[in-house]
């Protein structure tokens, strides 16, 4: 899509971080924007800021994990604008530390519901319209965690998003569709992803509080520092804009992290055990 003027962008997780940066960038490109987020007050503030670019901006409080809520987002979009063109399935949560609790089913369900089912619902409610008009672009926010190992719901969700996004790309390409697809795999970006437990539903709150181990505390300290010193969301917004306008599938923010995957890929080709590798330094 080389001309975004007067087209429609839909962004989930749009009240802060990368989602807000995407909304700003698309509005500056002349797009009307539909902003969705689960947090009402920050969403209202974000809409007011994005509207300053002079295009039409609407919002709807949306829980991407909920099918009815995503149906309502699509209905609001189509009622206001008749269609959509760029859809950023961006909302996500981290899940926090599961110290001493092993696999906590409620935590895993919450993270997968948001990070994976949020993308699935986004495909379900918007993709048919894009395919029908044979124009548009899907941007799914995965993570470099979708390429690195990790025994966590977050890692599982992001590996799944990478897989289904690549599958959608091949499916549309095979059908001769002009709908584009991008997989955003950010490294460390200055966002509030580590604070996503602020939106955890009551049913997913751990029943018991367990003190994290020294190793887990060190990992959280590393993550907090890495996020604080990470790429600015506006820079990621530029990369996403470039991918949409130039039909790029992969969007990486840290090629150093990509280089760290070399041995993993070599181990697959050579059918051998991979050397240990991790995102945590």
Residue 197 lies in domain: 8-270
Residue 3 lies in a domain: no
Q: Which residues contact 265 (CB under 8 A, 6 or more apart)?
A: none
Three-state secondary structure call for residue 88: strand
Number of domains into which the chain is organized: 1
- Give the pLDDT score at 213: 74
Residues labelled catalytic? 154
- Give dist(CA 19, CA 245) in Å, integer: 18
Q: Has residue 281 been placed in a domain?
A: no
Q: Give domain status of residue 2, yes or no.
A: no
Q: So what's the pLDDT on residue 99? A: 46
Q: Report yes or no on 109 lying in a domain.
A: yes
Q: Over the chain, what is the mean pLDDT? A: 93
* Residue 91, token pair as written in the block: 């909302």
What's the mean pLDDT in 265-275? 96
Q: What is the pLDDT at residue 281?
A: 59
Tell whether the model's pLDDT for residue 116 goes beyond 70.
Answer: yes
Alpha helix stretches (DSSP H) within the chain: 17-28, 40-50, 67-81, 105-115, 117-133, 153-174, 214-228, 233-246, 255-259, 262-270
DSSP 8-class letter at 137: E
Q: What is the CATH number of the domain that holds 64?
A: 3.40.50.720
CB 211 within 8 A of CB 99: yes
Q: Of 104-108, 165-169, 274-278, where does the model show the most confidence? A: 165-169
Phi and psi of 151, rounded to 5°? -90, 70
Backbone φ and ψ for 183, nearest 5 degrees, come out as -115, 110
* Among 43-52, 181-190, 207-216, the least confident range: 207-216
Over the stretch 67-92, which tens digit does the pLDDT of each residue have?
999 999 999 999 999 999 999 999 99
**Mean per-residue pLDDT, 160-184:** 98
pLDDT > 90: what percent of the chain? 78
Residue 67 domain-assigned?
yes
219 pLDDT above the threshold of 80: no
Residue 100 pLDDT level (bands cut at 50, 70, 90): very low
Joined tokens for residue 244: 């949409």
Domain assignment of residue 141, yes or no: yes
**pLDDT band (50, 70, 90) for residue 102:** low
| Short-list 224, 158, 220, 217, CA closest to 186 | 158
Confidence of residue 276 (pLDDT cuts 50, 70, 90): confident
Does a structural domain hold residue 1?
Answer: no
DSSP string, 48-68: HHHGGGSS-EEEEE--TT-HH
Residue 192: what pLDDT? 85
Q: Specify if 217 maps to a domain.
A: yes
Q: Is the pLDDT at 20 greater than 60, yes or no?
A: yes
Which tokens sit at 112? 């997968």
- Model confidence at 208, pLDDT cuts 50, 70, 90, reads low
Model confidence, pTM = 0.93
d(CA 197, CA 144): 20
């Amino acid at each position: 899509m080389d001309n975004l003027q007067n087209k429609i962008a839909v962004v989930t997780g749009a009240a802060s971080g990368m989602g807000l940066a995407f909304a700003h960038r698309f509005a500056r490109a002349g797009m009307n924007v539909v902003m969705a987020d689960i947090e009402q007050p920050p969403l209202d503030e974000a809409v007011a800021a994005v509207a300053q670019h002079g295009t039409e901006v609407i919002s709807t409080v949306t829980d991407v994990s909920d099918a009815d809520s995503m149906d309502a987002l699509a209905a609001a979009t189509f009622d206001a604008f008749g269609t959509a063109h760029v859809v950023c399935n961006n909302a996500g949560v981290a899940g926090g530390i599961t110290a001493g609790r092993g696999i906590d089913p409620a935590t895993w369900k919450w993270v997968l519901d948001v990070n994976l089912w949020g993308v699935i619902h986004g495909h379900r409610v918007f993709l048919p319209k894009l395919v029908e008009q044979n124009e548009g672009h899907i941007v799914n926010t995965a993570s470099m965690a979708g390429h690195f190992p990790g025994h966590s719901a977050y890692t599982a969700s992001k590996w799944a998003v990478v897989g289904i996004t690549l599958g959608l790309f091949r499916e549309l390409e095979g059908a001769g569709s002009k709908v584009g697809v991008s997989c955003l795999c950010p490294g460390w970006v200055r966002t509030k992803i580590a604070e996503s437990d602020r939106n955890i539903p009551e049913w997913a709150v751990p029943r018991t509080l367990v003190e994290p181990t020294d190793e887990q505390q060190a990992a959280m300290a590393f993550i907090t520092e890495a996020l604080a010193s990470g790429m600015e969301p506006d820079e990621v917004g530029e990369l996403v804009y470039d991918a949409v306008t130039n039909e790029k599938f992969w969007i990486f923010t840290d090629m150093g992290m990509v280089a760290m995957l070399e041995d993993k890929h070599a181990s697959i080709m050579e059918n051998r055990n991979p050397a240990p590798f991790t995102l945590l330094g």
